[in-house]
Structure 1
Amino acid sequence: MTTYTHILDLAKEAEPPADGILSRTIHQDDRIKAVIFGFGQGQELSEHTAAKPAMLFFVKGEATVGLGGDAQEAQAGTWVHMPANLKHSIKAKTPVVMLLVLLK
């Protein structure tokens, strides 16, 4: 039996709240965890690290992503790979939908 996850439109999975951040796990198995985030305009995740490598895919909106000592811009279509333990942060300049994939 093959099991899979199919989401036609990621942007509709995490409509950004007017004020705040929402997150929801959309897939998890023994190798990856995929979490969709909706950020209200001006919301931010302060600098933190993850013990495992991760990928960010920006589905909608504009943000500034802190990666180590750098600040990079992100928009719909931006993809980022981060090695384990890289300090990172995200600040939404507009309402943002972002997919986080954690590698286990």
Structure 2
Amino acid sequence: MGATFTFLADLLQEAEPPADGILSRTIHQDERSKFVLFGFGPGQEPSEHTATMPAALRFLSGRATVRLGIASKEAGPGTFVHMPAGLAHAIRAEEPTVMLLVLFKG
């Protein structure tokens, strides 16, 4: 039996940021990881939260402010963030922004 794979040629085409709101789309999931693509409209800010597993963020376009614990960092295309499980965090899109979230299971 052949291996299965996920192939998306252009992630930016998969998550056009809405004018107002947040788009989220799971693009791959297996027993070890989950990949979720987000499109944030300008000014969108999900409430601060924690994750029960380690996670990584990769910003693909736009500009956002990322709160990691008590630190606040500016993120743009190319920014990478790794977070341990349980770290309080929040994201505020300063302009239309596309971000990839990777959750690392077990």
TM range (shorter): over 0.9
Runs of 4+ in structure 1 over 3 Å off: none
Compute the TM-score of the two structures, normalised by the length of structure 2.
Answer: 0.97
Cα deviation digits, residues 16-35 of structure 1 (max 9, x gap)? 00000010100000000000
- The runs of 5 or more residues in structure 2 that have no matched partner are none
The match for 1:88 is 89
Report % sequence identity. Answer: 64
Compute the TM-score of the two structures, normalised by the length of structure 1.
Answer: 0.98
CA distance in 2 between partners of 1:90 and 1:46 (Å): 8
The match for 1:36 is 37
CA distance in 2 between partners of 1:64 and 1:98 (Å): 12
Counterpart check, 1:102 vs 2:103: yes
- The runs of 5 or more residues in structure 1 that have no matched partner are none
CA distance in 2 between partners of 1:95 and 1:41 (Å): 5
1:19-58 aligned at under 5 Å gives the runs 19-58=20-59
